[in-house]
Structure 1
């Protein structure tokens, strides 16, 4: 019985591979309305990796817009999408197959904060974790960052809606909204944020990585992208693409001039390639 089941699963896997090859498409989650600016860099890097690996696949958005939770579930179930990029965690690496090359160079673990403009100096005199615990952060209810902050005793208010977090900040439901340094500039440019500013004084740092994830049944896709990324790192095209999209983000953030509060990450998987310095940003 087990032999027949294994044979059937193998046939299904080969059938899915043949279908993907026939269509020549690698489906990614279509960004929610108003957030189309977000995936520009990951998509450019994904296509670069496919090209470097000599793959004929071309990336294509899913039919429907997807929030992160839905995209991860569809990927796990093998429906609607073939790849998702997201912050890693032990739980996510158990469910899905990561390509352990941080496409963000670890900068999703460098967090600057949005604050209300009339409280722009709120974080000016925050120099320790104990002092930061006196303030309330805002985060998504299912974001790994929420658990990381709470692990360190930081008060966090949550929402299931990304857009509502900006409304909550404006309404004084929390004091500051930590954002990855690679996100902050674009977000301020694309939302109606005239009453919000990026704090200039503080940065939170914890080790984490943004990976491309695939279904565990699709190791050949993960291996293709891994090989392509390694080739792009070796020939400098990874770094060139990263700088094209994110040099302005780093220039605006002035990370070297900020007070750094270091946090550990209890969700960090043990196979995170911290031993490879070429994969990580160092301020």
Structure 2
């Protein structure tokens, strides 16, 4: 997740843009968003002047991070899934950074449960299982809205909870689970190969409500990157995304569609150039 603070400086002095970086983050899941932030700022140097990115090394839960940004405290910009509440308290830059892939969720399960999950054909059947989620993650509300039981905990604890049977699966974004499991081979967990959850969702850059200058710059930079193709190039070629394209096997997965009650009406769903969808994936007939 990313964060930047304070008004932008003059063109004569680099604008400081601060974002959160966890020293203990092992999966490099945020590298793409940092690189996209850098791309947007670079695209706008001629118009807005030079910049300097500064990581803030701190271990902060997502809920606390959102409050820090709202108070213009320590950080200036973050990336996160949008929701009505977040758009009320923060200023969104309404370009979906992951082109919607954050709304596709693969399931991390115990290896011995593969046959049970392969037999699931509907949300009603999945509701017999318990999902593990972070307490401040928007996904928690989305899953519960769709009738799926959820137990919440801290991120690191989720994987051991799954191993010990306190939850049955952990939904993860397409670029996340393989690296996470590679770091925890002793737990005997796997990426479930037959299912994918989907709900409409977007992750945006957010800045503080009063930081209109940074929001304007990021919006302009992302639009320029979309126009010249560099946004798409980064999305498809970023090292952290290669695993989801090579291992996703979307043509072999049943899609279980969920409603997203948190989705603001302002999300630009009709602007097709902003979104990506696995080409061979079909919606589950059971939905």
- TM-score, structure 2 as length reference: 0.88
Give the counterpart of 1:90 among 44, 59, 84.
84
Cα separation, 1, equivalents of 2:197 and 2:169: 12
Query: For each residue in 1:62-102, what CA deviation from the matched residue of structure 2 results, as whole angstroms up to 9, or x when unmatched?
Result: 14333322221111000100000011110001000111111
Structure 2 segments unaligned to the other structure (5+ residues): 1-5, 279-287
Q: Please say which of residues 147-156 and 62-71 is displaced more in the overlay.
A: 62-71
Cα separation, 2, equivalents of 1:36 and 1:22: 34
Shift of 1:58: 2.4
Instruction: Please say if residues 31 and 67 of structure 1, whose CA atoms lie closer than 8 Å, have aligned partners that are also in contact.
Output: no
**Hey, what does 1:174 align to over in structure 2?**
167
Taking the TM superposition and a 5 Å limit, the aligned residue runs for 1:131-280 are 131-159=125-153, 161-192=154-185, 195-245=188-238, 246-280=241-275
**Hey, what does 1:116 align to over in structure 2?**
110
Distance 1:193 1:37, change over 3 A: farther
Cα separation, 2, equivalents of 1:99 and 1:201: 34
Q: Does 1:43 align with 2:38?
A: no
Indicate the SS of the match to 1:275: coil
Cα separation, 2, equivalents of 1:125 and 1:96: 42
**Hey, what does 1:34 align to over in structure 2?**
25
Task: Name the one with the larger helix percent.
Answer: 1
Q: Please say which of residues 50-59 and 190-199 is displaced more in the overlay.
A: 190-199
Instruction: Please say if residues 41 and 51 of structure 2, whose CA atoms lie closer than 8 Å, have aligned partners that are also in contact.
Output: yes
- TM-score, structure 1 as length reference: 0.90
Cα separation, 1, equivalents of 2:168 and 2:57: 37
Shift of 1:20: 11
Q: Please say which of residues 234-243 and 56-65 is displaced more in the overlay.
A: 56-65
Name the count of aligned residue pairs: 268
Q: Does 1:104 align with 2:98?
A: yes
Cα separation, 2, equivalents of 1:75 and 1:93: 12
Cα separation, 1, equivalents of 2:272 and 2:7: 36
Q: Please say which of residues 106-115 and 55-64 is displaced more in the overlay.
A: 55-64
Structure 1 segments unaligned to the other structure (5+ residues): 1-14
Give the counterpart of 1:72 among 54, 66, 86.
66
Distance 1:75 1:177, change over 3 A: same
Instruction: Please say if residues 101 and 277 of structure 2, whose CA atoms lie closer than 8 Å, have aligned partners that are also in contact.
Output: no
Q: Please say which of residues 35-44 and 254-263 is displaced more in the overlay.
A: 35-44
Indicate the SS of the match to 2:159: helix
Cα separation, 2, equivalents of 1:98 and 1:21: 27
- RMSD, aligned α-carbons: 1.8
Instruction: Please say if residues 31 and 38 of structure 1, whose CA atoms lie closer than 8 Å, have aligned partners that are also in contact.
Output: no
